């Protein structure tokens, strides 16, 4: 006979299991959702996360709380989500840095980009542009490439840091165009922009919204979009691909993942709701206005996208010999 104490404990455990996280997708969510952003408040990732959080909250009827956990090249926030309870109540606004770059350049990464996360959907793509100080004697991509070939390593370009997606865009450009530039890493996008505007460096690879006001005032000139084709939102700006570099792409992407082990039903529900949130005209227009391109997919397609991006990134990093100190 089973002792009554053990029976009581078993009943308590069963009730607890029924009440928490073995929750079905039909009733999910029943409490606030935590949305971790692995960057400080105020940046582009924060803007995207808060836009998604507001719309998602409206759709699911629960508060979606943005939790900024910046630092260590997104590692702090990513590890927090990787170690969270797999119940669907902790999400991560992940980036190419988190999933594709860190696994290549950080020696002791406290998370596994493939095993520790469950992809939900990509959210936006952030194409970069190449912009120049007005003193640079080149106004087209072809002229810039010719100038770089005539003066190897003479042209300096700024980025937010070594191993950033901006840096990879520059390294890929050098490889595909057969040129030599000098990379100057700064501590963030703001200082990188200041470096170009002051003439400390001649070029910058950055988001279009960052440099567009300065191009309009004549303090900078946008040479090209870092892509094979022109952007629909800025059709007057040429693409790098038009200069004889088909297949060139330079930019970064943001997406939403959760902790590995979350039930597929909850992941599918989150996918539906986040995709619908990103499709709302006001949010889509707001993102487009600051240089983002909204793109979404199924969880399975997003998983494949991440793995393909990791492979592409590894190839560029290896070819350029990029290393991050202190990792």
pLDDT of residue 219: 97
CB atoms near residue 323 (< 10 Å): 11
pLDDT in tens, 79-90: 999 999 999 999
Does pLDDT of 134 surpass 90?
yes
Does pLDDT of 23 surpass 90?
no
pLDDT in tens, 290-312: 889 999 999 999 999 999 999 99
Mean pLDDT of 174-181: 97
Residues 6+ apart with CB under 8 A from 310: 99, 100, 103, 104, 113, 114
pLDDT of residue 19: 44
pLDDT of residue 318: 92
Q: CA-CA distance, 203 to 133, in Å (whole number)?
A: 6
Domains annotated for the chain, with CATH where assigned, are 26-125+252-320 (3.40.190.150), 127-243 (3.40.190.10)
Torsion over CA of 237, 143, 228 and 310, rounded to 10 degrees? -120
Residues 6+ apart with CB under 8 A from 256: 52, 91, 92, 93, 94, 120, 121, 123, 270, 274
Q: What are the phi and psi torsion angles at 171 (to 5°)?
A: -65, -40
Which pTM does this prediction carry? Answer: 0.85
Share of the chain above pLDDT 70, in %: 92
pLDDT of residue 325: 54
**Residue whose pair of structure tokens reads 């960057």 in the numeric block:** 39
Structure tokens at 209: 């919204």
Does pLDDT of 315 surpass 80?
yes
CA angle 280, 281, 285 (to 5 degrees): 120
pLDDT in tens, 97-109: 999 999 999 989 9
pLDDT of residue 258: 98
pLDDT in tens, 49-65: 999 999 999 999 999 99
CB 326, CB 105: distance < 8 Å = no
Beta strands in 96-191 (DSSP E): 117-132, 156-159, 182-185
> CA 51 → CA 35, 54, 55, 66, 301, distances in Å?
12, 5, 7, 10, 23
Do strands 293-294 and 117-132 pair parallel, antiparallel, or not at all (unpaired)? antiparallel
- Residue 125 is classified by DSSP as E
Structure tokens at 117: 């996360």
């Amino acid at each position: 006979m089973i002792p009554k104490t053990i029976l009581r404990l078993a009943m308590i455990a069963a009730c607890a299991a029924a009440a928490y996280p073995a929750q079905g997708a039909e009733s999910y969510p029943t409490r606030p959702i935590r949305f971790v952003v692995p960057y400080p408040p105020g940046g582009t990732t924060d803007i995207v996360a808060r836009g998604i959080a507001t719309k998602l909250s409206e759709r699911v009827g629960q508060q979606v709380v943005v939790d900024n956990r910046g630092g260590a090249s997104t590692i702090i926030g990513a590890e927090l989500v990787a170690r969270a309870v797999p119940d669907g109540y902790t999400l991560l606004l992940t980036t190419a840095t988190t999933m594709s770059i860190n696994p290549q350049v950080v020696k002791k990464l406290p998370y596994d980009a493939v095993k520790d996360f469950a992809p939900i959907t990509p959210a936006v793509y952030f194409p970069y542009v190449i912009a120049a100080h007005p003193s640079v004697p080149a106004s087209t991509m072809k002229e810039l490439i010719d100038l770089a070939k005539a003066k190897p390593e003479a042209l300096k370009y700024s980025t937010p840091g070594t191993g950033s997606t901006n840096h990879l865009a520059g390294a890929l450009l050098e490889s595909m165009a057969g040129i030599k530039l000098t990379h100057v890493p700064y501590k963030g996008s703001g200082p990188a922009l200041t470096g170009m505007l002051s003439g400390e460096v001649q070029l910058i690879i950055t988001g279009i919204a960052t440099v567009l006001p300065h191009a309009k005032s004549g303090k900078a000139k946008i040479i090209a979009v870092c892509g094979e084709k022109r952007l629909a939102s800025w059709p007057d700006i040429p693409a790098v691909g038009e200069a004889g570099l088909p297949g060139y792409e330079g930019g970064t992407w943001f997406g939403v993942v959760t902790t590995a082990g979350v039930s597929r039903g909850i992941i599918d529900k989150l996918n539906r709701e986040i995709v619908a949130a990103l499709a709302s005209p006001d949010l889509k227009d707001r993102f487009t206005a600051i240089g983002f391109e909204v793109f979404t997919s199924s969880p399975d397609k997003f998983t494949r996208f991440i793995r393909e991006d990791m492979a592409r990134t590894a190839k560029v990093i290896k070819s350029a010999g990029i290393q991050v100190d202190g990792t």
